[in-house]
Each structure stands twice: as C-alpha cells, then as structure tokens.
Amino acid sequence: MKKTLVAFLLVVLSVILAPSRTAYAADVDSLKNGDIVEFGMYPQKRVTDLDLIAELDDVAKKLESVPVS
C-alpha cells in the first residue's frame, strides 16, 4: 500500500511539474534583426551599468576567438 501511494504521488508530481520544465524553441526563420529572445525563467532587466557592459563586451570578444569544434 505504501509503495502504491508513493508511486501515485510521484506520477502526480511529474504531471504537475512537467509543463514548467518544457523548453520552447524560437522559430528561427521568423526572427528579424533586433528581435528580443528571452532565456531563462528568472526576472531579467536591461543592463545600464557602463562598466559592466564593457566587461561583458570583453567576455564576448574572448568567446568569439574560441574555436568551435
């Protein structure tokens, strides 16, 4: 009886949590230059700190030089 209850609860939790973990792919063909694509499930905001922007730009430039295999 206990194993049946545990199994039932696992199924119920899986059904409840499954939609929140579903990934939705953007339709890449419909994207235009300047479109906004959001990633993640946490609140996001525009970065306005100039020092942070410069630091992020440096990281991006370093990543561009990394070979893709």
pLDDT recorded at residue 51: 95
**For residue 4, is it within any domain?**
no
User: Could you tell me the pTM of the whole model?
Assistant: 0.35
pLDDT recorded at residue 22: 52
**For residue 11, is it within any domain?**
no
Which range marks the domain in which residue 66 is found? 41-69
**For residue 59, is it within any domain?**
yes
- List the structure tokens of 62: 């370093």
**For residue 3, is it within any domain?**
no
pLDDT recorded at residue 5: 84
Q: Rounded CA gap, 38 and 2, in Å?
A: 43
pLDDT recorded at residue 25: 63
Name the one residue in this structure whose structure tokens are 């009886």.
1
10-residue mean pLDDT series, the chain (69 residues): 85 70 64 78 81 92 78
**For residue 13, is it within any domain?**
no
**For residue 35, is it within any domain?**
no
Q: Give buried/exposed letters for 10-25 (b at 16+ CB in 10 A, else e).
A: eeeeeeeeeeeeeeee
**For residue 16, is it within any domain?**
no
**Three-state DSSP state, 47:** coil
Structurally, the chain folds into a number of domains equal to 1
**For residue 50, is it within any domain?**
yes
Residue pair 46/40 in contact (Cβ under 8 Å)? The answer is no
